[in-house]
Structure formats: structure tokens, C-alpha cells
Amino acid sequence: MKLKILSLILIFACNVNIYGQIHLNCGIDTATIEHKEILSFWNDYIKSKPSKNTTDYLEFWNENDKKLFKQPDLILHSINTIHSTFAMGYPTLLSILPYQKDFYEIKTAVGWADSTHIELLAITNHYVKKVDEKYKLFMPFNVKTDINLIEQDNFRIYTLKNTEIPQDTLEKLSNFISQLKSDFGIAEKKKLTIIYGKNNKETEKILGYDFNLMSSSNNPSSGISDHSNNLIILNGLSSIFHETTHIYLMPLFPKSCLNEGIATYYGGSMGKSLAQGITFLNEYLTQNNDINLYEKVKRKQFLY
């Protein structure tokens, strides 16, 4: 009987959120002054509903990171470019712990649950420290010591220190960007930022994830472009030219239905050039000559 009562008390305590906004996971330490201050800070951050369509959340970030990125919280739209990660589930604060000198790491789970199952979208890490007596957020790759920066005139690339990029790829990328600018008369001197990992695990570490939904994918290579930050996020190098094309040309044709085709024309797809794609298509159609592409196009147009 005592065990049942103790269990009920524990369940009740773990589900009471005295701070009103973010749920606290069982066992979280909120005893110290620093923890209470950071918890209040994080509650206010979540309440600001951070996303690319809002600006209130920017006041929580340090000035240097805001100069580097228009939207400094890269976790917000690295899973879904439209909806903020914190808007796609219910946040639960897992821990607030010291991290290196003067910093604290805020670990948050985002997901949802029913009576029998928990669905996990992401486990995120954010980093804070006091600046002029106020807590401010800092990007993971400006906090962690195992992240390397490669910088050239046209781009900067963040990788883990043990991850290398072939020199000829860097040269091709620089020439590729210069050629795009020349061909389309792009005078804007924006610098492309790339977050690159050989796989999901590396990329997520740089961004600040312990886990996100895309970690479940067995896709060895993928990419996502974030136009507001002139940023591409890469798992593997195969998509680097394709996503770079999106960054530079999509602003010129924002409503065109041909943007994906344009990116494939200039940057290939999944590491394969347009010529290789055409060769594959020809061979496939030769072996499967009963396919009617015209009918498929008509059906797709009808559906839309």
C-alpha cells in the first residue's frame, strides 16, 4: 500500500508544472539560483514562440550570433523549413547542467504522447551564459571545442574537427558559386554558410541535437536549404551543389514550379549530374518501355 501511495505522489509531482509553460521531467534539478534563473529564462523563450515568422525570440540571443545569422536558432527549422520544431510537439525540459566554462546546457525533449505511447520528435541542446548580468543563448558551434571552421571568400563551412572535405571539392564549390553569380548577375555579396557532417550523427552534433526525427532515416545523404540564413545543412557531400543552387537562384524565381529542376540542372541530384540522370532515365525507359510519361504528367497536373 505504501508503495502505491509513493508511486502516486511521484507521478503527481512529476506532472505538476509550477512554472506554467514548459513541462519538467522527473528528477530535474531546480534547487540552485542559477537553475531557477535559467528555467525562467527558458520558459520565457518558449513562450516567445520562436520561429522564422517571429522576432521576439531574438532578444534572448547574444549580439555576435545575431550578426552572423538572421535566425540564430538553427534548430527551429532544420527538421521542417515551414514549421518550427517547438511548434510541432510539446516541450519537456530534461536538464539544466553546467557545460564548459561559464556555460549551461539546456536539454529539451519535443514530442507528444497518448495513454500508451510516447512519440519523440527531437532532443535539443541550447547553450546559455550570462552577458552583462543577463542570460543569453549561444550557437553550439561557437561553444563546443571540437568544431572546425573552413572559411573562403564565397563560403564558410562548419564541420567536426575529425571530418575532412577534399580540397578539389572546396575549389569546385568556390568556382561554382562564382559562375552562378556571373550567369545570373547576382551582385549581392552574401556568404554561404554550410553545416556539414559525414552522416546524420555528425550534423546533429553541430546543430545541437541528441536526436531528431530524421535520425531514423537510413538515407546516407541529404540536404536542406535555409534561405533566410543563406545556409545549407548537409549529411554527406552529395547534395552540396544542388542545395547551393537553391540558395542563390530560388530568390530570383521564388514562385517558380521549376526551382527543383533548375537546382538539378545546375547542381545535379544526390551527387549525380544532369547528364548522368538523363542517361539513367533513358536506360530505365528502354528496359520499361510500357511506361507512358505523358499520362503520368497529365495525372499529376489533374491532382494538383
End-to-end CA distance of the chain: 62
CA–CA dist 100, 81 (Å, integer): 31
Whether pLDDT at 83 is above 50: yes
DSSP-based three-state secondary structure for 97: strand
CB atoms within 10 A of CB 77: 21
The model's confidence at residue 181, banded by pLDDT at 50, 70 and 90, is very high
Q: How far apart are CA 20 and CA 157, in angstroms?
A: 40
Low-confidence winner among 1-15, 215-229, 282-296 (lowest mean pLDDT): 1-15
* Averaged pLDDT of the chain: 86
Pairing of strands 192-197, 147-151: unpaired
pLDDT value at position 10? Answer: 36
H helical segments located in the chain? 2-15, 33-47, 63-68, 167-183, 200-207, 240-249, 259-267, 274-287, 293-303
Other beta carbons within 10 angstroms of residue 14's beta carbon come to 14
Residue 269, number of CB atoms within 10 A of its CB: 18
Is 232 within 8 Å of 243 (Cβ atoms)?
Answer: yes
Residue position matching grid coordinates 541550447: 126
- Position 60 pLDDT exceeds 90: yes
Instruction: Read off φ and ψ for residue 118, nearest 5 degrees.
Output: -115, 130
Q: Could you tell me the pTM of the whole model? A: 0.82
Q: Which residue has better confidence, 289 or 209?
A: 209
Asked if 208 and 124 count as a contact pair (C-beta separation under 8 A), the reply is: yes
CA separation (Å) from 85 to 15, 80, 81, 108?
22, 7, 9, 11
Q: What is the mean pLDDT of residues 273-285?
A: 79
Q: Which letter, b or e, does each residue of 197-219 get, where b requires 16 or more Cβ atoms within 10 Å of its Cβ? A: bbebebbbbbbbbebbbbeeeee
Q: Is the pLDDT of residue 258 over 90?
A: no
**Strands 23-24 and 209-212: what pairing?**
unpaired
Q: Is 141:158 a contact under the CB 8 Å cutoff?
A: yes
